[in-house]
Amino acid sequence: MRRSTPDKADPAFLDEKTARKQAERQILLDALSGRLEAEAIEWTAGTAIPPEMLASPRIRLRQWNEADCAPFAALNADPVVMEHFPATLTRGQSDATVERLRASIDRQGWGFWAADDLTGGEPRFAGFVGINIPQADLPFQPCVEVGWRLARPFWGKGLASEGARLSLRVGFELLGLEEIVAMTQLRNVRSRAVMERLGMQEAVGEEFEHPAVPVGSHARAMCLYRLKRPVGS
Ligand SMILES: CC(C)(COP(=O)(O)OP(=O)(O)OC[C@H]1O[C@@H](n2cnc3c(N)ncnc32)[C@H](O)[C@@H]1OP(=O)(O)O)[C@@H](O)C(=O)NCCC(=O)NCCS
């Protein structure tokens, strides 16, 4: 008998889908780490990352919360912050991004974390920094990328680089990845400078057109940087 189409509102179907996604992600991580045995992955989804790995005296990376939505929408609506993206985001698009990033961290334990600036008295939400499996169909997949987006008052303080160093440690030491990449629009000088501060190497000749960006957009032409796992980590 032909199987009926699953009801997407059915909790059983949702569980099956989540389980399948987790299994696929684990296989991807195994491949990324260059190991075939699932047990060779040092960290498994659901295990909390030690908070001290996600914080320095100046920046803290954490799961998203409701209070982040308004300041995140404000930075996504800033044309200067979004200069190298196809467009600024509406409040709805920004909130949907928070939900996607939050769900991804919930599911796999890591992702693009909300970042707090700790350099003032009270922690202040600054944007995001973290590691992520890109969703778009990119020519260099499978990969884990390191990425960042901060509101303008938090630029020029070294926070993106500091948060990225914490993220890279998680990727190399906890997840056991062999390589982490970063990508940005060719003319995004500030983002490329972060990649260079991190010791990433530009993959010359691997420039590509981002498949999720509309043809003709200035934001489509991308460059790629790569960083190998440091010896001994
Ligand atoms: C890309 C982006 C995160 C870079 O932020 P940034 O603050 O320039 O990067 P860093 O964290 O590495 O900070 C370095 C700067 O802080 C300064 N700095 C000040 N105090 C510092 C400290 N204690 N330690 C280190 N650097 C410090 C450095 O001198 C450097 O200044 P410069 O820009 O004048 O050379 C930011 O511009 C951004 O969010 N842009 C919009 C979104 C975007 O394009 N994201 C990337 C998409 S791929």
Provide the H-helix boundaries in the chain.
Answer: 11-32, 69-76, 91-108, 159-169, 189-197
Mean pLDDT score across all residues of the chain = 87
- Condensed to tens digits (0 to 9), the pLDDT of residues 70-92 reads 999 999 999 999 999 999 999 99
Q: Tell whether ligand 1 has an atom less than 6 A from the beta carbon of residue 104.
A: no
Quick check: 177 and 77 in contact, CB under 8 A?
no
Are 113 and 131 a contacting pair, CB within 8 Å?
no
Residue 40 pLDDT greater than 50, yes or no? no
48-66: pLDDT as tens digits:
789 899 999 999 999 999 9
Q: Alpha carbon of 66 to those of 10, 120, 123, 190, 197: distances in Å?
A: 27, 22, 15, 29, 32
Q: Is 132 in the pocket of ligand 1 (CB under 6 A)?
A: no
Could you tell me which residue, 200 or 1, shows the higher pLDDT? 200
**Helix %, strand %, coil % of the chain (to 5):** 40, 20, 40
Query: Could you tell me the two tokens for 129?
Result: 């920094």
Q: What is the pLDDT of residue 3?
A: 37
26 pLDDT band (50/70/90 cuts)? low
Region 6-31: mean pLDDT is 56
pLDDT in the model for residue 25: 61
- Dihedral sign (CA 8, 11, 12, 15): positive
User: Hey, what are 184's tokens?
Assistant: 């940005």
**Do 152 and 80 touch, CB atoms closer than 8 A?**
yes
Record the tokens describing residue 26, joined without a space: 């684990």
pLDDT tens digit sequence for 121-138: 899 999 999 999 999 999
Nearest CA to ligand 1 atom 24: 158
Q: What is the CATH number of domain 49-228?
A: 3.40.630.30
Residue minimizing CA distance to atom 18 of ligand 1: 157
CA angle 130, 136, 141 (to 5 degrees): 80
Q: Which two tokens stand for residue 188?
A: 């995004």
CB 117 within 8 A of CB 129: no
Please tell me the predicted confidence (pLDDT) of residue 205: 97
Q: What is the mean pLDDT of residues 167-176?
A: 95
Cβ 159 under 6 angstroms from ligand 1:
yes
Domain ranges of the chain: 49-228
pLDDT at position 233: 77
Structure tokens at 73: 């929408």
Q: Which residue has the higher pLDDT, 25 or 100?
A: 100
Give the C-alpha separation, 211 to 1, whole Å: 39
The DSSP call for residue 172 is I
- Mean pLDDT value of segment 216-233: 94
Cis peptide before 71 (omega within 30 of 0): no
In this structure, what is the dihedral angle of CA atoms 7, 9, 12, 13, given to the nearest 10 degrees?
50
Ligand 1, residues 84, 138, 148: which to mutate, most atoms within 8 A of Cβ? 148
